[in-house]
Copies of this chain bind each other. A is one copy, B any other.
C-alpha cells in the first residue's frame, strides 16, 4: 500500500478523511507501523495525489488531515487488454499486475479453452474485482480504476465488438508460434489479446487474424498467463 486510495465515502468535510475498513487499518498499523503525526501518500479515486497527516489511528478508524491532492497519477498505458478469462486465482493476480502496470481497459473474454465454471467464480463479483484493482492502484500509486468488461461469447466479441476496438487501435494477439516477435517501445493505441492456458484454438486465432490482428510471440517459452501479461506489457510499452 504505497498510496492510501480514498473513495468519496472516505472524505469528511474540510480536508479530513477517515478510513474504516479492516484491511487498510490493519495495513496501516501492522505494515506501516503508522503513528499519529506521520505523513503518508494519499490519493483520491479518479483524482490527484498528495500527502496527508495521520491524525489518529485505532482499531475502528484512521483519520487524516489532507494536504492538496494536486499531483497527477502516473500515466496510463495506451492499451486495451483482452484476456481470456483465467482461472480465479490467476485472474486475481493478473488484474493486480495489469492494474499496477497502468492498464485502464480490460475485457475478460470467453474462449474454447476457458472452463465454463470460471464464469461462475466469486472472483468475478464486482466487489472482488474492485478489490484486486484497488490493490494494483495502491501498489503503483495510481488513482484511476481500470474499466472491466466481460465478453462471455467469443464469436459475438469478434463479430460485434472487435471491429470497433480495432478502429483506432493496432491489434496484437500473443500466441506461441506466431510469425512476429513481440514489438517493443510502442506508443500508439494498442489492443492486446492474450489467450487462456493452453492457448486460443486454431479457429479462434484465424478469426482474430482475419479481423485484422497481428500475431506476435514472446519466444519459445510457454508462460503462465500472469507472467505473460506482465512480460508482454513491459516489452510492448
Residue ranges of A at the interface with B (Cβ–Cβ < 8 Å): 2, 74-75, 96-97, 100-102, 139-142, 184-185, 218-224, 227, 230-235
State whether A223 touches B184 (Cβ < 8 A).
no
Complex CA–CA separation, A224 to B142 (angstroms): 14
Q: Please tell me which one of the listed residues B97, B101, B222 contacts residue A2 in the complex, with CB atoms under 8 A apart.
A: B222
State whether B231 touches A101 (Cβ < 8 A).
yes
Tell whether A227 pairs with B142 under 8 Å between CB atoms, given A184-B185, A235-B234, A235-B235. no
State whether A221 touches B100 (Cβ < 8 A).
yes
Q: Please tell me which one of the listed residues B96, B97, B141, B223 contacts residue A139 in the complex, with CB atoms under 8 A apart.
A: B223
Nearest chain B residue, comparing its CB with the CB of A138: B222
Q: Please tell me which one of the listed residues B102, B140, B234 contacts residue A230 in the complex, with CB atoms under 8 A apart.
A: B234
Q: Please tell me which one of the listed residues B75, B222, B234 contacts residue A140 in the complex, with CB atoms under 8 A apart.
A: B222
Nearest chain B residue, comparing its CB with the CB of A140: B221
Complex CA–CA separation, A221 to B227 (angstroms): 18
A-B contact pairs, 18 of them (CB 8 A): A2-B222, A74-B219, A74-B220, A96-B224, A97-B227, A100-B221, A100-B223, A100-B224, A101-B227, A139-B227, A141-B220, A141-B222, A227-B230, A230-B230, A230-B231, A231-B233, A234-B235, A235-B235
